[in-house]
Amino acid sequence: MQSKIAKKICIKGAVQGVGYRYYAYTLAKQYEVKGYALNHYNGDVEVIAVGDEIMLKDFIENLKHGPSKSRVDDVTIEDLKEIPEYLTFDIK
């Protein structure tokens, strides 16, 4: 069993109003990732993701594509030193 890691992912582009957070939620269930997806006022989507390293890598690769109606222009990824405890993946 791998130890858990946590990432803060910021997705920029046409990612609000196109089902992006639900897309992230669906992927999180598939990859057993916990955390949340949140819209920011500036049009970005923030994702906090906790899971094992291999699953998170695949999860993030899929986030870079987004749902069909979205347009992802940039994705930034930050390692979180503290591993937050989440029981589920939520849409906020």
CB-based contacts of 22: which residues, under 8 Å, 6+ apart? 67, 91
Q: Is 71 a catalytic residue?
A: no
* Catalytically annotated residue among 39, 42, 62, 71: 39
Q: Is 39 a catalytic residue?
A: yes
Whole-number Cα distances in Å, 32 to 50, 74, 89: 9, 24, 9
- The sign of the CA dihedral 17, 10, 89, 57 is positive
The CB-side HSE value for 70 (13 A sphere, CA atoms) comes to 25
- Positions annotated as catalytic residues are 21, 39
